Amino acid sequence: MQLKAKTAHESLIVMTELVLPNDTNVYGNLMGGRLMYWMDIAAALSAGKHCNAPVVTASVDNISFENPIKLGNVVHIEAKVTRAFTSSMEVYLKVWGEDHLQQYKYKSNEAYYTFVALDPNRRPRPVPQLTAETEEETRLFEGALRRRQLRLILGGKLKPEDAGELKAFFMKS
């Protein structure tokens, strides 16, 4: 059975949280682990929305924290599927902090998460393909194959010489 392709917009999730004292470290900054927890929830909601099935986290790419989010600030997490493979989906996340007192919004970080859809027996199941509509979605879609191959190489599941999109990085000419 061929699943109907979906757009990235159909998987869009925007999650908002308030940074409370229990969420912060001794410097009054949102703890990185708490933010990653919230990001995992937002990404799982996005992936699940795309495939209409339960999903599990398969990988999390590098998360670099550009700006701390302070106690009392608001966190906005935007997540959407960038590409679907056989049973897995890459989800791109953008995170902003918002200071209501000073009236400004700032970028905190971004990341890519990968999820696998599961059938009722908890086995991987096929997911709908993704159709990119905007220039940004096309750029993310095209880069997703390279990011996937790099994840598989780093995870020991793919040999560098078998990564067609990345051969130029790993092989001497």
pLDDT of residue 161: 79
Is residue 85, in this structure, part of any structural domain at all?
yes
Q: Which of 83, 16, 14, 13 is nearest to 49 (CA)?
A: 13
Q: What are the pLDDT digits (tens) for 118-155?
A: 999 999 999 999 999 999 999 999 999 999 988 888 88
Q: What are the pLDDT digits (tens) for 60-84?
A: 988 888 999 999 999 999 999 999 9
Cα distances (angstroms) measured from residue 166 to each of 8, 20, 84, 110: 25, 43, 19, 23
pLDDT of residue 116: 98
Is residue 63, in this structure, part of any structural domain at all?
yes
* Region 3-25 average pLDDT: 97
Q: How many helices (H) and strands (E) in the chain?
A: 3, 7
The string over 22-40, giving b where at least 16 C-beta atoms fall within 10 Å of a residue's C-beta and e elsewhere, is ebbeeeebbeeebbeebbb
Band (92; pLDDT cuts 50, 70, 90): very high
Is residue 163, in this structure, part of any structural domain at all?
no
- Mean pLDDT for the chain overall: 93
Is residue 153, in this structure, part of any structural domain at all?
no
Band (39; pLDDT cuts 50, 70, 90): very high
| Cβ contact 91:41 at 8 Å | no
Is residue 116, in this structure, part of any structural domain at all?
yes
The domain in which residue 93 lies consists of 6-132
Is residue 168, in this structure, part of any structural domain at all?
no
Is residue 24, in this structure, part of any structural domain at all?
yes
If one counts the domains in the chain, the total is 1
Instruction: Specify the CATH number for the domain of residue 33.
Output: 3.10.129.10
Is residue 102, in this structure, part of any structural domain at all?
yes
